[in-house]
Structure 1
């Protein structure tokens, strides 16, 4: 099976700048989302490698997938300052080379951009060891006027500008539907409530592979 990659020049430039200037609050959420991980970890959609610095030393190996050809080199550079061994592979999860099962999977701001989130989540479940866990940090659908804004954004310009990001997705419902058991979950605002952007709130949580 050959791997699949993407080339979104505008999004790649935008994300490279944005990830280099993340707020302290975003960095804190990334660190909290990775806390307590052990063993071999698969990270899906590594971007520029923003997570790498926050992996605890109880992790023995990270295999990081990044299909965006303009972001993967940045992720590869970020491995040099990671406290744990990280290997970057230019591939989607759907076309990932065969590997041994993982102890955990990490998804950070990526399930909004995959074409088939339900299928991807089932595949993530399948590559985990029994009792393995999913750590997620994702944009989610919101109610009210922002939810309506999300729907309009998703149906028009947002996915084309933001690397296929779809903001109005019931991600936690999809996680449960793929056979995971959500153990902990919380929602955090990334912008003030009045900011008219579709990506204001994120969900952070830990889910276990189903039997």
Structure 2
């Protein structure tokens, strides 16, 4: 369906994700999905590193991943998850689900790579019920202007997206979430890793709600 293939990046990411989890990302993953219940859609599930952290109140996870190699890895990881996980092909901008099907949506290090994040967030709102939650963990533009922010803009305009499967480091993802119609309820800003000076180190994590339609 989605026909996305970045084999070199996928090979690299499978290894990087393991080392990042060991460096502390696993704890962020646990915090990100803590307290969720019902049906959840995870957009950009990658190789399934989020699956072990879903709480037992989640009745089903539909994990959407367009990249072929990563999707195959997620399929292999799904049987070991503590909750039922179904891995499907699909793009964030055209989710393979009906309106209002899910109680929550999860994105982790995904919206940086989506070609049209505003369209993706509109799709996420479509498949979420009114009052449903969006949980997000993303690396974003540096909060303050300066050397890091300039480096992010320069890299985004040159090699970074090509090397990292479309990733952009200088996106204001919190603003895009709000512009899509979500209400941000919690937002943390930090660097991962804490001492990181990488263009991808500024991060946000939080939750937003999909307003109930009148």
CA displacement 1:69-106 (0-9 Å, x = unmatched): 11101101111110000000121123332336100000
TM-score (norm 2): 0.93
Q: Is the 8 A contact 2:37 2:59 kept in 1?
A: yes
**Residues 64 and 88, structure 2, Cα contact 8 Å, conserved in 1:** yes
Contact 2:41–2:102 (Cα < 8 Å) also in 1: yes
Tell me how far 1:169 sits from its aligned partner: 0.3
What pairs with 1:106-145 in structure 2 (closer than 5 Å)? Answer: 106-142=106-142, 143=144, 144-145=146-147
Report the 3-state secondary structure (helix = DSSP H, G, I; strand = E; otherwise coil) of the residue aligned with 1:202: strand
Query: Larger deviation: 71-80 or 94-103?
Result: 94-103
Q: 1:199 Cα shift?
A: 0.4
Secondary structure at the aligned position of 1:167 is classed as: coil
Number of the residue aligned with 2:202: 201
Q: Quick check: 1:104–1:135 contact (8 Å CA) kept in 2?
A: yes
User: Mapping of 1:172-191 within 5 angstroms?
Assistant: 172-191=174-193
Could you tell which deviates more after superposition, 82-91 or 184-193? 184-193
Residues in 1 aligned to 2:51 and 2:94: alpha-carbon distance in whole angstroms? 22
Offset of 1:122 from its aligned partner? 1.0
Residue 171 of structure 2 corresponds to: 169
Cα deviation per residue 1:10-38 (whole Å; 9 max; x = unaligned)? 21111011112222421000100000000
SS in structure 1 at match of 2:74 = helix
In structure 1, the residue matched to 2:93 is: 94
Distance 1:173 1:35 in 2: 24
Tell me, yes or no, if the aligned pair for 1:10 and 1:161 is still in contact at 8 Å.
no
Question: Alpha-carbon deviations, 1:134-158, whole Å to 9, x = none?
Answer: 0000011103211111111111111
Where does structure 1 lack aligned partners over 5 or more consecutive residues? none
What is the RMSD computed on CA atoms of the aligned residues? 1.3
Partners of 1:7 and 1:154 in 2: CA distance: 21
Unaligned residue ranges in structure 2 (runs of 5+): none
Aligned residues, how many?
208
Moved more, 77-86 or 92-101: 92-101
Counterpart in 2 of 1:20? 18
Change (3 A) 1:192 1:41: closer
1:11–1:161 CA contact under 8 A, matched in 2: yes
Pairwise CA distance, 1:130: 1.1
- The answer on whether the counterparts of 1:5 and 1:92 sit within 8 Å (CA) in structure 2 is no
**Residue range with higher mean Cα deviation, 88-97 or 163-172:** 88-97
